[in-house]
Amino acid sequence: MDERLEDLVFVRESCLEDQDYYVFRNTKGKLRFIQADNYRSFPLSPGIFLKGRFLEKGCAGNEIVELIHPYYHEKEIYRFVVVRSASVVFNEDQIFFVIVKDDAGNEFKIRNICRKEFNPGLEVRCLCMGQRKGILSFSIM
């Protein structure tokens, strides 16, 4: 698959067939649409510039866009404040996680592999592991 980055300008949010989309324009003036659901934590306002990752899929030529977060970057460390710790049972396994928030109030769920207790209000350092379809993945340092 051929991958390329493209500069995009955010135009507006739109709704098509009961689905929310973000509308972008590339440097050639072509409009790009992407479902808004996974990108709600992105600080978007009309005129903001972002990068988009495009993959061409085989002979069909379909493109899949992934917006690159304008602030969080893979393999960089960020500070967050713990909101709460919790666990869930999935397939008879107990999974521990921590909910943290950034300065803008965005919350992220981070898997707590070490099962350490994190009290609300505690500042933690987290490594950005990457993103997939707008969902950021972090690891507690």
Average pLDDT, the chain: 88
pLDDT digits 0-9 by tens, 108-132: 999 988 778 889 999 999 999 999 8
Q: Can you give the pLDDT at residue 117?
A: 83
CB burial of 31-47 (b: ≥16 within 10 Å; e: otherwise) equals ebebebebbebbebeee
Measured in degrees and rounded to the nearest 5, phi and psi for residue 120 equal -55, 140
CA 69 to chain centre: 6
- Domain ranges across the chain: 2-68, 77-140
CB 53: neighbour CB atoms within 10 A? 15
pLDDT digits 0-9 by tens, 98-108: 999 999 888 99
pLDDT band at 62 (very low <50, low <70, confident <90, very high): low
Q: Can you give the pLDDT at residue 37?
A: 87
Q: Can you give the pLDDT at residue 113?
A: 82
pLDDT band at 88 (very low <50, low <70, confident <90, very high): confident
CATH level 3 topology of 2-68: OB fold (Dihydrolipoamide Acetyltransferase, E2P) (2.40.50)
